[in-house]
Homo-oligomer: A and B are copies of this chain.
C-alpha cells in the first residue's frame, strides 16, 4: 500500500548515463554525445537515446560532469551580508539577472556580518568550484584567510571597500550622496544637522561622514560633536540613537541616516511621536542613504539618496563576467555606480 509514485516516495536509484545507454541499446559514450549536441551520432540512435532518457527521467549529474578537466561549473557564488535589507535583495536580483543571461547558476548565502560565516560560505563555494565570486564584505574586521584560496577564481566585492583588499570592487558614490544630502539640507536652512552613521560599513561610513563634514565646513557651519554618532546597521539601534538625539537639550533640526535600516529605526521613533500627538514639524527633517520604496508616501518627508540597487547588482555581475570572459585583464578595478 505504500505510495511509490508519490512526490516523496523513495523511487529506485537516480538513473545514470549507463542506464540510459542500456535501455537505448548503445554505449554510454553515445548517450553523452547525443545529449551534448549530437555531433557524430546517427540520427536514428539519437532518437533512441532521447526516448530512453525521457522514459527514465534522466538528468545528467552536473557534478560529475564538472569534474572533467576543462569543464566549467557554471556556478557563481554570491555572499551578501543581510537579506533583511531590501537593498541587498534587489542587489541579488540584479546579479541573478546577469547570471541567467550568462547561463550561470547561483550559490547563495548571507553572512550576517560575520567573518566566520563569510569564511565558511566562500570556502564551500570555492570547494564547489564556482567560476567567480561576488561578495559584500562582512563588517567583521577579522582577517580574510579565504582570499588566499581564490586561485584563479575572480572576485568582485561590492558596496564596501575593505582596507588592504585589492579586488575588483563596485561601490556607490558615497561622496556624491553625502554632498547632495548635506547641501540639500543646508539649502533648506538647516544648520543643526545630525549625522547618524553606520559603525559597520567601515569604508562607506568614513567617506559619507567625511564628505558631510567637508560640505558643512565649506558652508561655514559648525558640526556639533554631540550630533555625530555611529550605530550598527540595525533598526533598533537607529531608533535608540534617534531617541538620544531627540532628548538633547538642543536637538537637531535635521538628521542624516547612513543606511536604510537605520532610517527605518528613525522613522519608527517618529511614528511613535506622531501617534503620541507630536506635530510633524517638531521632528528633525530626515535624509538617508539607501533605498526606501515608499519614501514619498510617508507621513514624514524623507529624502533618499542612493544608487539603484538592482543596477548595482548588475554592475557587480558584469564586472565579474568581464574577467570571466577575458574582456578585462590586469590590475583590479574600482567602479563607482552613479546615483539613481
- In the assembled complex, the CB of A317 is this many whole angstroms from the nearest CB of chain B, namely 14
Bound: A88/B59 CA distance, A: 28
Q: Does the CB pair A7–B332 fall under 8 Å? A: yes
Chain B residues, CB < 8 A from A121: 105
Tell whether A64 pairs with B67 under 8 Å between CB atoms, given A8-B168, A92-B83.
yes
Closest to A66 in B: B63
Closest to A332 in B: B7
Partner of A6, one of B93, B299, B331: B331
Bound: A9/B147 CA distance, A: 12
Indicate if A17 sits at the interface (CB-CB under 8 A): no
Chain A 289-310, CB-CB to B under 8 Å as 1, else 0, gives: 0001110111110000000000
Indicate if A28 sits at the interface (CB-CB under 8 A): no
Give chain A interface residues in 113-130, CB to chain B under 8 Å: 117, 121, 123-129
Q: Does the CB pair A67–B63 fall under 8 Å? A: yes
Chain A 223-265, CB-CB to B under 8 Å as 1, else 0, gives: 0000000000000000000000000000000000000000010
Chain B residues, CB < 8 A from A62: 124, 127-129
Main secondary structure of the interface of A (DSSP, over half): mixed
Copies in the complex: 2
Chain B residues, CB < 8 A from A106: 107-109
Give chain A interface residues in 268-320, CB to chain B under 8 Å: 268, 270-271, 275, 292-294, 296-300
Chain A 50-61, CB-CB to B under 8 Å as 1, else 0, gives: 000000010111
Chain B residues, CB < 8 A from A117: 100
Indicate if A188 sits at the interface (CB-CB under 8 A): no
- In the assembled complex, the CB of A66 is this many whole angstroms from the nearest CB of chain B, namely 6
Indicate if A151 sits at the interface (CB-CB under 8 A): yes
Q: Does the CB pair B151–A11 fall under 8 Å? A: yes
Indicate if A96 sits at the interface (CB-CB under 8 A): yes
Chain A 100-112, CB-CB to B under 8 Å as 1, else 0, gives: 1000011111100
Give the size of the chain A interface in residues (CB under 8 angstroms). Answer: 73
Give chain A interface residues in 1-32, CB to chain B under 8 Å: 3, 6-11, 14
Indicate if A84 sits at the interface (CB-CB under 8 A): yes
Indicate if A73 sits at the interface (CB-CB under 8 A): yes
Partner of A107, one of B105, B294, B330: B105
Chain B residues, CB < 8 A from A152: 8-11, 14
Chain A 76-108, CB-CB to B under 8 Å as 1, else 0, gives: 001000011010111011001000100001111
Indicate if A150 sits at the interface (CB-CB under 8 A): yes
Closest to A5 in B: B148
Q: Does the CB pair A126–B59 fall under 8 Å? A: yes
- Sorted nearest first, the 3 A-B pairs with minimum C-beta distance are A89-B89, A108-B108, A63-B63
**A interface, CB within 8 angstroms of B:** 3, 6-11, 14, 57, 59-64, 66-67, 73, 78, 83-84, 86, 88-90, 92-93, 96, 100, 105-110, 117, 121, 123-129, 147-152, 154-155, 166-168, 264, 267-268, 270-271, 275, 292-294, 296-300, 323, 330-332
